[in-house]
Homo-oligomer: A and B are copies of this chain.
Amino acid sequence: MASNYPHEDADKLAYEKSEETYKEWDKYWKAVQLDKTESIMTVTQGTPIDWEAGTARGTGDVHNKSADSDKDRRWVFAMRHGERVDHTYGNWVPHCFDDNNTYTRKDLNLPLRLGERVGGKDSYAKDTPLTRVGQLQARLVGEGLRLAGIPIKHVYASCALRCVETAHYFLEGLQADNTVKVKVDPGLFEYKMWHLIKGMAPFMTPLELHKAGYNVDLSYKPYVEIDTVSPESLEDFYKRNEKTMHAAVDDTESEGGNIIFVGHAATLDLMAVALQRLREDNTDQKPYQISKHLLRVPYCALGAMKGKPWEIVAPPCPPSINSSSGRFDWKILLDL
């Protein structure tokens, strides 16, 4: 009976089919567990273990203890943003803002508050924030890398609000030290031509983002600047993403440390091609392409590469799924 709930769609999510994916991830988990003689099942009994504090906080020491011979290779990750308010609620802005631009959340999964920005509610309509579930999805990935003992030193985010927020909550979950901040780079924004028809909002400035509480690097100078009015070709789009990714990898090489690019569905594909183009043994360069996998990249999907030479590898934390849940109409209780 219970499986008939219309909002519980386990069968579509194909859990059983993805067991294979876990095998490679398992080795990272097992490396972390080397430090832990007790299973999670026994953690809550007797002497409590601070499970989370027991793992590396940005130091990578747990990871270094693993038998992984690749331990000196840098990680580069690409992640899509989390659950969007606009795709969850449809036309939400007229319901949630009054004429004075005052925001009231009309659903518990909407953000509690929104930062001040140029364009007010119109800008929010065109540049959506994350839902509360979206914030959680991002936090879970950060926590996942922390528990796998993988620190992140360099965080680059697309200038779309949903991406900056995803990077912010990812860092919360990672519990990175507070020198790690989000570098907002318009070079990572998705293809402009998808947005120019209905018009693009002015992106929130780093100062607006900072005032709204996001952990952004106010001193960061983007590799690429884009405007919200002029068109771009697909080639322009590929080039600005490649420029940003190549520059980020090159400019952090001497300092070292792992990197994450927080962007859009296309960001995972773009990273895969861009970094493979950095291989010296790469004689036939793969072409960039759009939309091959877009619909198979869910919220907060994580792609991972290691260098050098750069290659696509299994992410060191498991993926994340969740089911949908509908709106309850309390008035059905009157009809008993």
Residues of A that sit less than 8 Å from B by CB: 1-16, 18-19, 21-22, 26, 29, 39-45, 51-52, 83-84, 86-92, 95, 100-109, 112-116, 120, 131-133, 136-137, 140-141, 143-144, 194, 211-213, 268-269, 272-273, 286, 289, 292-293, 295-304, 312, 314-315, 317-334, 336
Contacts and interface: CB of A to CB of B under 8 A. Distances in A.
A293 B325 contact: no
Contacts of A213: 44
A267 B54 CA distance: 40
Nearest to A131: B322
Contacts of A333: 268-269, 272, 293, 303, 312
A330 B317 contact: no
A312 B71 CA distance: 61
A325 B137 contact: yes
Given A320-B109, A327-B15, A330-B314, A5 B101 contact: no
B21 A87 contact: no
Contact of A106 (B10, B22, B141, B286): B22
Given A298-B7, A319-B328, A326-B321, A16 B91 contact: yes
A322 B325 contact: yes
Top 6 A-B pairs, shortest CB-CB distance: A301-B328, A39-B102, A108-B320, A324-B324, A108-B140, A8-B87
Contact of A15 (B90, B300, B319): B90
B327 A88 contact: no
Nearest to A86: B10
Contact of A6 (B91, B211, B295): B295
Q: How many copies does the complex hold?
A: 2
B269 A88 contact: no
Instruction: With a 10 A CB-CB cut-off, give which of A22, A92, A330, A331 has the most chain B CB atoms.
Output: A330
A87 B140 contact: no
A144 B105 CA distance: 10
A15 B91 contact: yes
7 contacts: A2-B194, A15-B95, A29-B104, A44-B115, A52-B112, A88-B323, A322-B322
Contacts of A303: 330, 333
A108 B327 contact: no
A95 B115 CA distance: 42
B318 A330 contact: no
Contacts of A39: 100-103
Contact of A332 (B91, B296, B324): B296
